[in-house]
Amino acid sequence: MTRVGARTGGSAPRSVDVARLAGVSQKTVSRVLNGERYVSDEVRRRVLEAADQLGYRLNSAARALASGRTRSIGVVTLGTALYGPASLLIGIERAARDAGYALRVVNTLEGDAGGAAGAVESLLEQGVDGIVVSEPIDEGAVSLSVDVPVLVLGAPAAFGGTRTVSAGVGAELLARTATEYLLDLGHTTVHHVAGPGRWFAARDRLEGWRTALTARGREQPPVLTGDWSAASGYAAGRELAAADDVTAVFAANDDMAIGVIRALTEAGLRVPDDVSVAGFDDIPVAAYVTPPLTTMRQPFDAVAREGLRLLVRAIETPGTDLPPPDDPPVELVVRASTAPPRPRAPSRG
């Protein structure tokens, strides 16, 4: 039977109660519970049994106070249900738990002035051994001089102060790859629907798109900017539909790509026959919208995992400089929303 928190009466048992029952000192209980060496198997067994019998639960506040370590990691994340941030959070939680850390989470509402700084401050007050800032946006000169290691996910390594490690999906390369793919298909140029300018994630993708175009000496059409939502992609799509020279669009995420396709479709343009549209993220529905979306898959889980490994290293063995992680693999998922441009495109009617 799964029984959680069975407590017969009175207050919660403390380690000294366990010690008494096991016939050892309280310190020995502590040793056993912390998996320290130099405890005889016999004693260990007795202690564990006594603890189990009493339904003993370690008091982590007391432990934190005495040891100065909390065994927990704080996460600052955006308060949105966007696929990217949500996936990262899940990866972080899993990796943290595997490493023996609990998770404290604080959301920043976008638009909050100094949101990240406030969030970090609040985590520090809660007590954390390390902090993950997930997909931050540029808030100007926030000096995050914090006394615990910080992992920044999806922003330049330079962000923040010392003891900062970082990991990213290599979004720039991914964006460049997507753009090149469209160019390789034969499109003269590629239009871009970018994410909000303050997001590093948006900038990276924009940069990758630019790089690809520049490398081939192609003209850079004006950039349209959305807010990651399908609604904003739809708005951008209406503008694109009104223009006359659009044959390929690279949207900075799948939601916006879906909005773009919708607008194009409503304007009587066919995707991919008249206009190719590529997205970014490979959200779960991407394969099932009409037409199925060509997109760049982001290795969220790998990034979170790798980043956390670095963070834990920084927490537990400070001073060990380990090399930045390899760039995660580039994965272009080609589906049906992209195709070569129509030969000698007839003027629209």
Residues near DNA (CB under 7 A) are 11-12, 14-16, 24-28, 30-31, 33-34, 37-40, 42-44, 56, 58-59, 62-63, 65-69
> Does residue 200 interact with its own copies by CB under 8 A?
no
CA dist., res. 49 & res. 28, Å (int): 14
Among 77, 91, 72, 94, CA closest to 133: 77
CA dist., res. 313 & res. 288, Å (int): 40
Cβ-based neighbours of 143, under 8 Å, separated by 6 or more: 161
CB of 188 to its own copies, least distance (A): 27
Q: Which is nearer to DNA, 42 or 219 (CB)?
A: 42
Residues 310 and 94 sit within 8 Å (Cβ to Cβ): no
**Which of DNA, its own copies, none does residue 37 bind (CB under 5 to 8 Å by kind)?**
DNA
Is the C-alpha dihedral spanning 336, 342, 348, 349 positive or negative?
negative
Q: Which is nearer to its own copies, 185 or 304 (CB)?
A: 304
> Does residue 42 interact with its own copies by CB under 8 A?
no
Residues 96 and 102 sit within 8 Å (Cβ to Cβ): yes
CB of 43 to its own copies, least distance (A): 22
Q: Which is nearer to DNA, 41 or 321 (CB)?
A: 41
> Does residue 333 interact with its own copies by CB under 8 A?
no
Residues 89 and 258 sit within 8 Å (Cβ to Cβ): no
Cβ-based neighbours of 52, under 8 Å, separated by 6 or more: none
Residue indicated by tokens 């590529």? 278
CB of 149 to DNA, least distance (A): 18
**Dihedrals phi, psi of 134, to nearest 5 degrees:** -95, 125
Q: Which is nearer to DNA, 69 or 270 (CB)?
A: 69
**Which of its own copies, DNA, none does residue 326 bind (CB under 5 to 8 Å by kind)?**
none
> Does residue 268 interact with its own copies by CB under 8 A?
no
Q: Which is nearer to DNA, 70 or 77 (CB)?
A: 70
Task: Work out the angle at residue 61's Cα, subtended by the Cα atoms of residues 57 and 65, and round it to the nearest 5 degrees.
Answer: 130
How, if at all, do strands 191-194 and 248-251 pair? parallel
> Does residue 302 interact with its own copies by CB under 8 A?
no
Among 274, 343, 332, 271, CA closest to 298: 332
How, if at all, do strands 130-134 and 102-108 pair? unpaired
Segment contacting its own copies by CB under 8 A, of 36-44, 45-53, 231-239, 339-347: 231-239
Which two structure tokens, joined as six digits, stand for 204? Answer: 């990276």
CB of 135 to DNA, least distance (A): 32
Q: Which of 25, 27, 90, 348 binds its own copies (CB under 8 A)?
A: 90
Q: Which is nearer to its own copies, 148 or 183 (CB)?
A: 148
Q: What is the 8-class DSSP label of residue 285?
A: G
> Does residue 156 interact with its own copies by CB under 8 A?
no
**Which of DNA, its own copies, none does residue 324 bind (CB under 5 to 8 Å by kind)?**
none
In the complex, the residues that contact its own copies under the rule CB under 8 A are: 1-7, 12, 57-62, 64-65, 70, 72, 79-81, 83, 86-87, 90, 93-94, 97, 102-107, 109, 114, 117, 120-122, 124-127, 141-147, 229-231, 233-234, 255, 258-259, 261-262, 265, 284-285, 287-290, 292
